[in-house]
Amino acid sequence: MGGARHAGWVAAGLVLGAGACYCIYRLMRGQRRGGHGLRLRPSQSAEDLTNGSYDDVLNAEQLQKLLYLLESTEDPVIIERALVTLGNNAAFSANQVIIRELGGIPIVGSKSNDPNHSIKEKALNALNNLSVNVENQIKIKVYVNQVCEDVFSGPLNSPVQLAGLRLLTNMTVTNDHQHMLTSYITDLFHVLLTGNGSTKVQVLKLLLNLSENPAMTEGLLGAQVDPSFLSLYDGHTAKEILLRALTLFQNINNCLKKEGHLASQPTFTKESLFFLLYGEECAQKMRALLNHHDADVKEKVTVIPKNW
């Protein structure tokens, strides 16, 4: 009997020892991968960090707990809370680096494919904040095609669509990844013309990024665009939309001049953006905007080269 009891205590000790070793391993692993000389505050459970009561910026240990929780749980409520907490912390540049070095971007990115639209939105928001870091974009770019599919096939004006558009806008601030959107430019214009005011503004922000890059000019001008696009240049169009639409025209003009294509007029189909921007109807709208009541609009029109 004594031998059996002794064996039981030994087994229990081994189990406890293994658990302690695993906890130490997790902590040391986090310090090696995510440590940046940060002093770790008293430990909290990952669930505590998602309840909205923790206001401080999380440190490496706490971020690692959240990522581990995000990987291991199937509870949609906890997943959403963890994504929101990670997204909020990813607004800080130091944490953008820490989350990447902890291997967090693929963990967050995997949730952007979740069938639950609310989880997908929170994941896209977190990736959006993480994408402000140029090194993070290298890892995030693998999700660009899927994000585009979600943006253009999902519900119009939905939170998921807007979150995806914001992420794509951040990913195209530099020229590095803009080429990945080449095959989606016509879709962008479709969403621009069918979306509500908020969607229109976000699509125009994205198009403005593309329009500053001469390498994207031909793709923009060759896009098949509905003639209703010219309604963006009506005098009654909301100022925040009208000014961006005018800047789009200005940027394309500037790129054409840089590339020396304006005089040669490249071959585009009659349904293309090229024929809309350089047709007589657009020229009439530009002339009318010279008398617009808003000084900013009139100034923007005068800056656009007089090709009309």
Q: What CATH number does residue 222 fall under?
A: 1.25.10.10
pLDDT higher than threshold 70 for residue 25? no
What pLDDT does residue 304 have? 86
What pLDDT does residue 223 have? 96
What pLDDT does residue 170 have? 98
Residue type, 105: I
Residue type, 133: N
pLDDT higher than threshold 60 for residue 29? no
Residue 17: inside a domain, yes or no?
no
The burial class, CB within 10 Å (0-12 / 13-18 / 19+), for 293 is exposed
Residue 232: inside a domain, yes or no?
yes
Residue 257: inside a domain, yes or no?
yes
Residue 303: inside a domain, yes or no?
yes
Say how many domains are in the chain: 1
pLDDT band, residue 55 (cuts 50/70/90): low
Residue type, 138: I
Rounded to the nearest 10°, the torsion over CA 193, 195, 201, 203 is: -70
Alpha carbon separation from 287 to 137, 265, 281 (Å, rounded): 42, 22, 10
Residue 213: inside a domain, yes or no?
yes
Residue 235: inside a domain, yes or no?
yes
What pLDDT does residue 257 have? 83
Lowest mean pLDDT among 37-46, 112-121, 203-212, 220-229: 37-46
Residue 238: inside a domain, yes or no?
yes
Dist. CA 96–CA 86, nearest whole Å: 10
What pLDDT does residue 45 have? 60
Dist. CA 275–CA 230, nearest whole Å: 11
Tens-digit pLDDT profile for residues 144-168: 999 999 999 999 999 999 999 999 9
Residue 146: inside a domain, yes or no?
no
Single pTM value for the model: 0.82
Domain region containing 251: 182-307
pLDDT higher than threshold 60 for residue 3? no
